[in-house]
Amino acid sequence: MLVPQDIMGGPSKMLYQMNKYYAERVQARMGQVQKTIREVCKVVQDVLKEVEVQEPRFISSLTECNGRYEGLEVISPGEFEVVLYLNQMGVFNFVDDGTLPGCAVLKLSDGRKRSMSLWVEFITASGYLSARKIRSRFQTLVAQACDKCNYRDSVKMIADTTEVKLRIRERYVVQITPAFKCSGVWPRSAAHWPIPHIPWPHPNLVAEVKTEGFDLLSKESVALQGKQSAMEGDAWVLSFTEAETRLLQGGCRRKCLSILKTLRDRHLDLPGNPVTSYHMKTLLLHECEKHPLETEWDEGCLADRINGIFLQLISCLQCRRCPHYFLPNLDLFKGKSPSGLENAAKQFNKYFGERVMTRKSQVAKTIQEVCRVVQDVLKEVEVQEPRFISSLTDYNGRFDGLDVISPTEFEIVIYLNQMGVLNFVDDGTLPGCAVLKLSDGRKRSMSLWVEFITASGYLSARKIRSRFQTLVAQACDKCTYRDSVKMIADTTEVKLRIRERYVVQITPAFKCAGLWPRSASHWPIAHIPWPHPNIVAEVKAEGFDMLSKECIGLQGKQSAMEGDAWALSFIDAENRLLQGASRKRCLSILKTLRDRHLDLPGNPVTSYHMKTLLLYECEKHPHEAEWDEGCLAERINGIFLQLISCLQCRRCPHYFLPNLDLFKGKSPSGLENAAKQVWRLTRELLTNSRALEKL
């Protein structure tokens, strides 16, 4: 399903295949399920009729409305849950203090007596209405009803569980769950929803959902497994089935869910039931947030959405965590048996020692060789033009302003002086770029760079680069290494080829300390606990750089300012954020895997893409414990899954500047080939515990 042969080359063909699958497989499943529902509900209605005769407080709410049964949920084609709504919750207060994730309790209101409740004998000494006691009584009644009802030869109670479960005709399992409907109330543990900066769902829909409320179910909860709490037996499980169903209306969301359920039933019905239809529904809701626009849920986008959901599922299975949509502290994988990833850490340590360290030492050796040549060239430039002072100095083997693009390609930033008389202007018209404008009341003559200021008062990045390019070309002919270095033609960038093996781009730049661009003002995202506020303060104080280079954000744009604009760079900020735990180690492994397996024609995947996705992974896993060496395999797999998703959508947003697409200018065919290659590499890492021995 992921990255099929022709998904990008022929979207119309993919849509045809989706519609064909829906008509042949999905509709067949839906027809069969509908038939089963009618058969099962006849039996359950008869059982509940007998229960009601014995105990009138348990009134059956399983009624048919136009072929649909209220309170019935399809778990799988052979398994169902029927919710039985109880009356008179009124004398109880709903208490949701977060101590039991996914659960809450019903407590007798102050001043109310037990005798005022319809459920008097199920109230504990502490005043809680006990979910377990009600379920136990209901279980006894259902067992008796099964022996008396018309279908007694076809229905049996399933033993060894505190749930009320029936086996019907030896083929179907139906769980009947007592519940209270909580309309007009919204739980505190879901108070964060909807997330403020995400434009889905629409406020009107949010209001409808919150008015509809939720249900409290008397059933076992995964959140309570292993907990020793006095309230655990009294607690009720929160359920948002109606809310979820309401949110999935519109576009092709319902169709998407039906396809996901069918694929799950046909291919993921595994021992231990690790992946359920509810997991698929949950991830579909998360996908709705990731793609909030209605146009992203047209039928033509169905394949992309389904691929995105399966990538999410792989990521969740890798992390062994699937957060509930409304209750993120509730892990829907809790209680599922973990798979053995004990060797993963050893494999990555071995790979780091053998492959990564070899690459690092070779790159360090190359840097020394390359920087000697560049320092000599820049010395000649400075002789001709003292304003271009070389800032390429060696600090214990590290060079300030040097960035490794690949083992044979480097960028060196040369920092210019006296930006002071210019104002930094970042109005968002040029994604990833900004301009430097002469301050009001300042004259051109007050600037060190007077001849590069335009009539409109902008310091032109292109003019400075053009002058610098001329100087470097002359310096190459005069320097000590003139036989080893050549300027690369046919580009406005300043690029050198050294010893016919290495490419070095030299980029004039201004350092902007103590400033932070408006286009990055959303960072850090408020509800994410990474990075720590102290690190955020350091990063913002450090600031960013403005580079005189061609910017991907300007490709194809006809703007009067485009030649004058400077590209924003956050290299120092990014490096600061990646300190601590195994983040730098993770980046080194990613770069090595990229160089060895993803160095493809057109350079669709760069080391900078890997670094960007690593920063996003840090947000997804904000706790330091999630970056221990033992978690390295999971983090790397997660980053490759992100990369596949980006290649599928043909969009990779810059970490600090999300409006800047790092795939802009890359050919669709190049991204398609990269998607296939990344998937091959990821599949090998996911399925072969010894994959790193040959990668």
Q: What is the pLDDT of residues 477-523, one digit of tens each?
A: 999 999 999 999 888 899 999 999 999 999 999 998 888 999 999 99
pLDDT, residue 231, reads 63
Angle of helix 583-597 relative to helix 632-649, nearest 10 degrees?
Answer: 50
Beta strands in 472-584 (DSSP E): 485-487, 495-498, 502-512, 544-547, 566-569
- Sign of the Cα pseudo-torsion (623, 627, 633, 635, in order): positive
pLDDT, residue 347, reads 72
| CATH number of the domain within which 121 lies | 3.30.460.90
Q: In angstroms, rounded to a whole number, what is the distance separating the alpha carbons of residues 563 and 556?
A: 13
DSSP summary character for residue 219: S
> What is the pLDDT confidence band of residue 337, given thresholds at 50, 70 and 90?
low
Overall average pLDDT of the 413-423 stretch:
78
**At CB < 8 A and 24+ separation, what contacts does 608-612 make?**
608/405, 608/662, 609/643, 609/646, 609/652, 609/662, 610/639, 610/643, 611/574, 611/578, 611/587, 612/652, 612/654, 612/655, 612/662
Overall average pLDDT of the 69-90 stretch:
87
In a domain, 452, yes or no: yes
Q: In angstroms, rounded to a whole number, what is the distance separating the alpha carbons of residues 389 and 391?
A: 6
In a domain, 53, yes or no: yes
pLDDT, residue 319, reads 75
User: Which of 577, 608, 634 is at the close of a domain?
Assistant: 577
Q: Are residues 591 and 545 in the same domain?
A: no
Containing structural domain, residue 607: 580-694
Structure tokens given for 480: 């000590």
List pLDDT tens digits, range 623-653.
Answer: 898 898 888 888 998 899 899 989 988 999 9
List pLDDT tens digits, range 251-274.
Answer: 999 999 999 999 999 888 888 888
Nearest 5 degrees, angle CA 570-CA 575-CA 579? 150
List pLDDT tens digits, range 113-167.
Answer: 766 677 888 988 888 899 999 999 999 999 999 999 999 999 999 988 889 999 9
In a domain, 684, yes or no: yes
Q: Are residues 568 and 607 in the same domain?
A: no
Q: Are residues 425 and 547 in the same domain?
A: yes
Residue ranges in 320-384 assigned as alpha helix (H): 342-351, 357-384
Q: Are residues 66 and 174 in the same domain?
A: yes
In a domain, 545, yes or no: yes
Q: Are residues 513 and 590 in the same domain?
A: no
In a domain, 5, yes or no: no
> Which amino acid, one-letter code, is at 311?
L
Structure tokens given for 450: 């007077």
Q: In angstroms, rounded to a whole number, what is the distance separating the alpha carbons of residues 94 and 104?
A: 7
Q: How many CA atoms lie within 13 A of 198 on its CB side?
A: 18
Structure tokens given for 509: 């730049």
Q: Are residues 38 and 105 in the same domain?
A: yes
Across the chain, mean pLDDT equals: 87
pLDDT at position 464 over 90: yes
| CATH number of the domain within which 645 lies | 1.10.1410.40
pLDDT at position 88 over 80: no
In a domain, 231, yes or no: no
> What is the pLDDT confidence band of residue 21, given thresholds at 50, 70 and 90?
confident
Q: In angstroms, rounded to a whole number, what is the distance separating the alpha carbons of residues 546 and 507?
A: 10
> What is the pLDDT confidence band of residue 560, given thresholds at 50, 70 and 90?
low
List pLDDT tens digits, range 289-303.
Answer: 989 999 999 988 898
List pLDDT tens digits, range 579-594.
Answer: 988 899 999 999 999 9
In a domain, 1, yes or no: no
Task: Name the maximum alpha-carbon separation found in the chain.
Answer: 104
* CB distance 132 to 162 below 8 Å: yes
- pLDDT-wise least confident of 263-272, 333-342, 394-403, 643-652: 333-342
Q: Chain centroid to CA 538: how far?
A: 26
Q: Are residues 499 and 593 in the same domain?
A: no
Q: Are residues 296 and 383 in the same domain?
A: no
Helix/strand/coil for 334: coil
User: Which of 560, 577, 594 is at the close of a domain?
Assistant: 577
User: Which of 518, 548, 577 is at the close of a domain?
Assistant: 577
> What is the pLDDT confidence band of residue 97, given thresholds at 50, 70 and 90?
confident
More confident residue, 560 or 622: 622
Overall average pLDDT of the 238-257 stretch:
94
Beta bridge partners of 409: 406, 503
pLDDT, residue 571, reads 94
When divided into structural domains, the chain yields a total of 3
Cis? peptide before 187, omega within 30° of 0 = no
Q: In angstroms, rounded to a whole number, what is the distance separating the alpha carbons of residues 264 and 77?
A: 11
Q: Are residues 506 and 597 in the same domain?
A: no
Q: Are residues 208 and 66 in the same domain?
A: yes
Helix/strand/coil for 412: strand
Closest CA to 80 of 168, 212, 145, 181: 168
Closest CA to 328 of 229, 187, 473: 187
Closest CA to 308 of 599, 644, 594, 80: 644
Count Cβ neighbours within 10 Å for each residue of 172-200 and write b for 16 or more, e otherwise. bbbbbbbbbbbeeebbebbeebbeeeeeb
Q: Are residues 505 and 542 in the same domain?
A: yes
In a domain, 499, yes or no: yes
Q: In angstroms, rounded to a whole number, what is the distance separating the alpha carbons of residues 436 and 444?
A: 13
pLDDT over 70 for what percent of the chain?
Answer: 90
Query: Hunting for tokens 């119309």 — which residue is that?
Result: 12
> What is the pLDDT confidence band of residue 6, given thresholds at 50, 70 and 90?
very low
pLDDT at position 380 over 80: yes
pLDDT at position 344 over 80: no
pLDDT, residue 552, reads 65
- H or E segment at 646? helix 632-649
**Distance set, CA 619 to CA 150, 189, 626, 646 (Å):** 57, 21, 11, 17
pLDDT, residue 294, reads 93
Closest CA to 553 of 658, 650, 413, 458: 658
pLDDT at position 216 over 90: yes
pLDDT at position 343 over 60: no
Nearest 5 degrees, angle CA 155-CA 158-CA 162? 135
Q: Are residues 568 and 603 in the same domain?
A: no
Q: In angstroms, rounded to a whole number, what is the distance separating the alpha carbons of residues 340 and 344?
A: 9
Write phi, then psi, for 76 (nearest 5 degrees).
Answer: -155, 175
> What is the pLDDT confidence band of residue 554, given thresholds at 50, 70 and 90?
low
